[in-house]
Amino acid sequence: MSAYTGVPLTLDEYVDGFDRHHGVEGVGELWKIERTQVFQEEGNASCAAFLAGDRARSLALLAERLPRLERQHRAAAAHGMVVGRVRVVEEPLDPYVLWELTSQVQRAALGEQIKVVDAADLAELEAGGPLPDLVGFDDEVVYFIHYTPDGVPTGATAATDHQVAHWRQVYRSLHDAAEPVADYHARRVAPELPEAP
């Protein structure tokens, strides 16, 4: 399931390709599968504060970014773009995942279609290896994103052939069966979080 082919891209080339598609008139859906359990959020003060144990500051910083996110979502909506993602989680939940899901609740409230699936439910699908981290735009292109073992992005592989439709269908099947992030957060994440002072 995890095998794929395509054109290798440096990180800069991937970012350029992503930017060319994002928010472009006529692109209807941005779809993502996030499988890696820890990403390095370089320069993200909210994430850094959360991981340092300062939940109050982390939440305050998320609140500060809300106007910027609202502008981004209005722009995407103006172009008719729907943004969706499936977040695969593993138990026990990594502190990074606790922060990310808290962040994603905010994004979901603005219209992103974010759902969560437990890796334990993917045993058959992942029999050949873990799902890749990927980002797709309609049936046009899918980027398989590469990370170091500690979650630093290093580049991607781009595919524009039959793999796009295949992985979009995998995404849709997972998304249809997964739990909305707000529900998952309330049920599973919130009890893990320390009370903010």
Contact 134, 33 (CB under 8 A): yes
Kindly report the CATH number assigned to the domain that includes residue 69: 3.30.870
- State how far Cα 3 lies from the chain centre: 20
Q: Is 87 helix (H, G, I), strand (E, B) or coil?
A: strand
pTM of this prediction?
A: 0.94
Identify the pLDDT of residue 123: 95
Q: Could you tell me if residue 78 is inside a domain?
A: yes
Taking the C-alpha atoms of residue 143 and residue 155, their distance in angstroms, rounded to an integer, is 9
Over the stretch 28-43, which tens digit does the pLDDT of each residue have?
999 999 999 999 999 9
- pLDDT of residue 23 exceeding 80, the answer is no
Number of separate domains in the chain = 1
Over the stretch 42-56, which tens digit does the pLDDT of each residue have?
999 999 999 999 999
Contact 34, 85 (CB under 8 A): yes
Strand partners, 88: 117
133 secondary structure, DSSP code: P
Range of the domain at 82: 7-192
Q: Could you tell me if residue 14 is inside a domain?
A: yes
Over the stretch 94-124, which tens digit does the pLDDT of each residue have?
999 999 999 999 999 999 999 999 999 999 9
